[in-house]
Amino acid sequence: MTNCKNYLAADLGAGSGRVILGQLQDNKLTLKEIHRFNNETVTIDNHYYWNILQLFTDIKRGIELALKEGVKISSISVDAWGVDFALLGSDGQLLSNPHTYRDPRTNQMQEKMNSLINEREAYQRTGIQSMFFNTTLQLLGMHNKNDPTLELADSLLFIPDLLNYFLCGEKVSELSIASTSQFLNSENSQWDENLIDRLNIKKTLFQKIVPTGSIIGKIKPEITNDLKCNTFSVIASAGHDTQAAIASVPASGYDHIYLSSGTWSIIGVECDEAQTGELSQKLGFSNEKGVAGKTNLLKNIMGMWLIQECKRIWDRDSENNDYETLIELAANAPALKSILNLDDECFIAPIDMPQTIVDFCKKTQQNVPDNKGTIIRCIIDSLALKYRQSAEQLAQITGQTFNNLHIVGGGIQNQLLCQLSSDAIGCTVIAGPIEATAAGNILIQAIAMGDIESLNQGREIIRSSFSVKTYQPMGQLNWDEAYQKMIGLSEKT
């Protein structure tokens, strides 16, 4: 391509990763998957770890394959999930593999944190909800067990910052990923040293915060020598994958709700400042730093995780469990027969998700789903109702009216969920793009490199580059009755 700019997005999820080649030409963005790889957790002595060195090896492999495409790479950036981190020694080397956010070291740590700082004050300072996986609780767990790596550690890097460091040798904390930690002050966007002191954590662990979209260095000479390529930039794009996905929402203005649909469902709105009042805290919303100076008021909801876990269990016994077949079975199953309280702790990390769903329905005296179709339908109906609740809560907190729900990410392939979300909420649903995280990652790189002027221009490029599908409410089911049932379950369980 003539005058074509080429960017690489290393997009990491909790189960897999991809290196995506983004090519920008004539205000059109095209994406091509260069390398896909697994991201499997490693379990040792009942602790869960990320295989971070394998992830870095796969990112290098993605660079190598992109070079074989004959492109000249302008830049690369890594995005990943929030809260998890690695500790490095004074020599800059890893002290241990990073733990996953589902590791049990955070057990009972919320009570410990509450004894050191009032939960309301912590929310006012950081805008982040107290959740079992927060970085604060992970570090408290290490401190509580006198983990020797914590004493030896010289620096802390979150997962995307760590991999960018491996690529260029610069240790920084990008703003969006830092904001997931519950250590960032929501007003000044700097580390909250008062909170850090009260939790007895070393302030020196925390690295300089850089704005989203900062050029932080060049690929290490050892990597360019190994791959026999010219140097190119490493950019701290939106390190948090959620914020990268939000950047690619093909909307004009800010009068919409967005939903990043994947393993987790993240639903929210873009605000000019953090919403840290009692209402937003009570309703379970967090404030994370986004792109272009925006703060995202959002909530994490159990998403495709429930379906993925059901499929994992069923795959042990049979082969015909592809997602299209499961969604078709759900579409043909009776609607709104059983509803889940997705906030119930039983769904966080069950051994057997289908059985957990059956047990929940028995416990709450509902119709018990007895096959794959009814179980998946139960999940999808419950998600649609949860989205409705969250949309109403966002309107309540902000005082705004929202007419559209933009859904991006892999979850848009579940057309049944998109349609039922429109029905349940009673609004227009606009679904797409599917590769939202990679697209957002690349847009932010292009802005950093001066190839795109602004986020608004980037979103115009997204609108002209990718097709979307629109869903309108069909009004065929009694969603109001089901919604009240879900509210009742939330109060009881």
pLDDT tens-place string over residues 366-415: 999 999 999 999 999 999 999 999 999 999 999 999 989 999 999 999 99
Residue 466 in this model has a pLDDT that exceeds 70 = yes
pLDDT of residue 256: 93
pTM of the model: 0.93
Pair (107, 89) in one structural domain: yes
Residue 442, in any domain of the structure: no
Pair (150, 12) in one structural domain: yes
Pair (232, 163) in one structural domain: yes
Residue 359 CA, chain-centre distance (Å), reads 29
Residue 320 in this model has a pLDDT that exceeds 80 = no
Domain endpoint, select from 236, 260, 275: 236
For 14-42, what is the mean pLDDT?
A: 95
pLDDT of residue 255: 85
Return the closest-CA partner of residue 250 out of 8, 455, 109. Answer: 455
Domain endpoint, select from 218, 236, 254: 236
Q: Which of 192, 241, 381, 423 is catalytic?
A: 241
Residue 456, in any domain of the structure: no
**Residues spanned by the domain of 254:** 245-432+468-493
pLDDT of residue 285: 98
Average predicted confidence (pLDDT) for the chain: 95
pLDDT of residue 1: 40
Pair (277, 201) in one structural domain: no
Pair (115, 49) in one structural domain: yes
Residue 131 in this model has a pLDDT that exceeds 60 = yes
pLDDT band at 493 (very low <50, low <70, confident <90, very high): low
Number of domains in the chain: 2
Q: What is the CATH number of the domain that holds 144?
A: 3.30.420.40
Pair (227, 250) in one structural domain: no
Pair (251, 166) in one structural domain: no
Catalytic annotation present for 192: no
For 3-20, what is the mean pLDDT?
A: 94
Beta bridge partners of 299: 267
Residue 344 in this model has a pLDDT that exceeds 70 = yes
Whole-number percent of the chain with pLDDT over 70: 99
Peptide bond into 98 cis (omega under 30): no
Residue 349, in any domain of the structure: yes
Q: Which long-range contacts (CB under 8 A, 24 or more apart) does 312-316 make?
A: 312/353, 313/352, 313/353, 313/354, 314/354, 314/372
251-294 pLDDT, tens digit per residue, is: 988 889 999 998 889 999 999 999 999 999 999 999 999 999 99
Pair (127, 231) in one structural domain: yes
CA distance 386 to 211: 33
Whole-number percent of the chain with pLDDT over 90: 92
Residue 185, in any domain of the structure: yes
Alpha-carbon separation of residue 61 from 22, 34, 58, 168, 223 (angstroms) = 16, 9, 5, 16, 11
Pair (221, 250) in one structural domain: no
Pair (176, 268) in one structural domain: no
54-99 pLDDT, tens digit per residue, is: 999 999 999 999 999 999 999 999 999 999 999 999 999 999 999 9
Domain endpoint, select from 181, 207, 236: 236
Residue 83, in any domain of the structure: yes
CA distance 460 to 248: 10
**Are 276 and 127 in contact, with CB atoms under 8 Å apart?**
yes
Residue 181, in any domain of the structure: yes
Pair (75, 132) in one structural domain: yes
pLDDT of residue 2: 54
CA distance 8 to 2: 18
Residue 18, in any domain of the structure: yes
Residue 444, in any domain of the structure: no
Pair (138, 276) in one structural domain: no
pLDDT of residue 252: 84
